[in-house]
Amino acid sequence: MAASVVDLAAFAPEEELAQRRGRDLRLLRRFHRLAGPVLLYAGPYEPRGGLEHAIDAALRLSAEVPELRLVALPFGPIDRRYLDRCEREALRLGHHGIVEQRVEERDLPLWLAVADVVCCPATAAVNTLPVLLAQAARAPLVATAAALGQADPGDAVVRIPAGDPDALAAAVRGALDDAAAEPAGGRVGVAAIRLAYVASAPTNPYLRLLYSHLAERGVAAERWPAPSLRRLARSRGRVDLLHVHWPEGLYRARRGPRLLRPLLSRVKLVRLVVRLAAARALGYRIAWTVHQVLPHERDDRRLDLAAARLLARRADLLLAHDAATAHAVQERLGARRPVHVAPHGSYRGVYAERAGREATRRRLGIPSGAVAFLAFGELRAYKGVAALLDAFATLDGEEAALVVAGRPTDAALARRVREAQAADPRIVALLGVVPDEEVADLYAAADVAVVARADGGTSGSLVLALTLAKPVVVADRPAYVELARPEAAWLFDPQEPGSLERALRDAIAARHELPLRSARAAERAEALDWAPIADQLAELLRDAAER
């Protein structure tokens, strides 16, 4: 990290530092469970930086100052082997050691303000930026001559010999004794938690909305591709809880010869069993948000059921978005704990109109007098798009139009949509990723959204339609009826031939009701406000983490 990229003047004004000791500092301390004094190591992750001496000093002080937390931040080069060795040593500190592998520049003032002592125990010349930053932030500093270089902090630094953990521990102890009774950021309890989430759909806006609202309530989140044993060991004590969404990515094999994938999937499932057992042994708690009881595409029903039962029985907290899914988890998976219902929050604020209704309809070639239906989202077989195309083909005249928009993941279905578009000029196919800036315009151009899937479970497309004030044609399934209510929907029975077609016709016939039904859809979205949902989830996650 070069000194030129950091404005040292930004650290200097006392009133700015005072502001930083407010909400942001409290959140930082809560996220990292910094209930006691903080010793901050700032330097390179290589032998000359002396990180191992800081860890050794923290270990020597652990009995005397049991709440002391060591936080290590990288300034300069990173020697991977050295870092791995230091992280193994830091594990001896248990949850009292944090080794960050990167730090954003905007977070540096917070870390320096939250530190009770900054130590720079370099054994050879290193970047003097940490010393300058600590001086600007007026943080107590313990440093060697090699770390100080040409910098001259004057009496603000306690100078120690290089390579002497005993001297470092004594200097830190003295600095703590000289400090005020309260830590720089103000003591806070450990009521907040940190979780890691695992999701096979990491770009879903739902996750961003969920964790941003939880962050405001003291629940910090980071994404893990998978809970590997190495990651579990490294994060022990820093992360309290593992939160799983859409778990099929943890046990389904998507690579390798197709004939071997069933066997490889079972090997991955065994590995998942081992990882979950290791997580529990290391003190993690496990939460599972059940978006649907079994995955949509059921390549191997027995495998999916075995994995779902494993998670349901190992989880400390089970969550569902609706009562029907919660009941199914209890009945089908043999859950040993109650399943808590926390609705899927709305997508308010994610998408905004740009071109507007009329301009978008002109661009898509939708006649001004037609009732436009919109099927939006990834084109996957389970979503019922093929059944929708069949039903729409039975509608006569120019009074209807259908827009099918989304990225296809099923080649046969994509081909079917293109063929339908070629045969019927009323159909508009937008096959590909729809940019976020165009989503709201598509819904503005439509009169009715269609969610043709028949399997129940969470439907982000249904929540999005309600958020953007569109009534829906939706399957008569408990989860969907609970969410949309009949006043904002036309229901169809997926098991009854011709039912979807009749629902489409009913929507066209009720075109005079569209403004009222749109208002009802907006009201349903109001009930999906994130604030109370996040309040409930934060408490549930906190309770699970503290068991």
How far is residue 288 from each of residues 9, 307, 321, 497, 527, measured CA to CA in Å? 46, 12, 12, 36, 23
Q: In what order do the strands lie in the sheet with 193-199?
A: 219-223, 193-199, 241-245, 285-290, 317-320, 339-341
- How far is it, in rounded angstroms, from Cα 58 to Cα 225? 31
**Residues forming beta bridges with residue 41, ordered by sequence position:** 72, 119
C-beta neighbour count of 394 within 10 angstroms: 12
Please give the biggest Cα pair distance in the chain: 88
- How far is it, in rounded angstroms, from Cα 168 to Cα 160? 7
Burial class from Cβ neighbours inside 10 Å (0-12, 13-18, 19+) for residue 299 reads middle
- How far is it, in rounded angstroms, from Cα 313 to Cα 98? 31
**Residues forming beta bridges with residue 429, ordered by sequence position:** 404
Instruction: Take residue 295 and report the two structure tokens written for it.
Output: 């995955």
Strands (E), 354-493: 371-376, 400-406, 427-431, 448-451, 472-475, 489-492
| Element of type H or E holding 483 | helix 478-484
3-class DSSP state of 356: coil
Please give the single-letter amino acid code of residue 186.
G
Q: Is 350 in contact with 436 (CB distance < 8 Å)? A: yes
- How far is it, in rounded angstroms, from Cα 395 to Cα 391? 7
- How far is it, in rounded angstroms, from Cα 301 to Cα 309? 12
Q: What is the pTM of this model?
A: 0.66
- How far is it, in rounded angstroms, from Cα 399 to Cα 426? 9
**Residues forming beta bridges with residue 374, ordered by sequence position:** 403, 449
Q: Is 183 in contact with 116 (CB distance < 8 Å)? A: yes
- How far is it, in rounded angstroms, from Cα 140 to Cα 335? 52
- How far is it, in rounded angstroms, from Cα 322 to Cα 78? 47
3-class DSSP state of 262: helix
From first to last of the 547 residues of the chain, give the pLDDT tens digit.
333 333 334 444 444 444 544 556 666 666 666 777 889 998 888 999 899 999 999 988 887 887 788 888 888 888 888 888 888 887 777 766 777 766 666 667 778 777 889 999 998 888 777 887 777 677 788 999 888 887 666 666 888 988 888 899 988 988 887 764 333 333 333 346 889 999 877 667 899 899 988 988 888 888 888 899 988 988 888 889 999 999 998 998 878 788 888 899 999 999 999 999 999 999 999 999 999 998 877 778 899 999 999 999 999 999 999 999 999 999 999 888 899 999 999 999 888 888 889 999 999 999 988 999 999 998 888 899 999 999 999 998 888 999 999 999 888 999 999 999 999 999 999 999 898 889 999 999 999 999 999 887 789 999 999 999 999 999 999 989 988 888 899 999 999 999 999 999 999 999 999 999 999 999 999 999 999 999 999 999 999 988 7
Per the document, the length of the chain is 547
Instruction: Take residue 185 and report the two structure tokens written for it.
Output: 């950021």
- How far is it, in rounded angstroms, from Cα 42 to Cα 121? 9
Q: Which residues of 212-232 are buried (b: 16+ CB within 10 A; e: fewer)?
A: ebbbebbbbbeebeebeeebb
- How far is it, in rounded angstroms, from Cα 147 to Cα 160? 10
Instruction: Take residue 358 and report the two structure tokens written for it.
Output: 């009329």
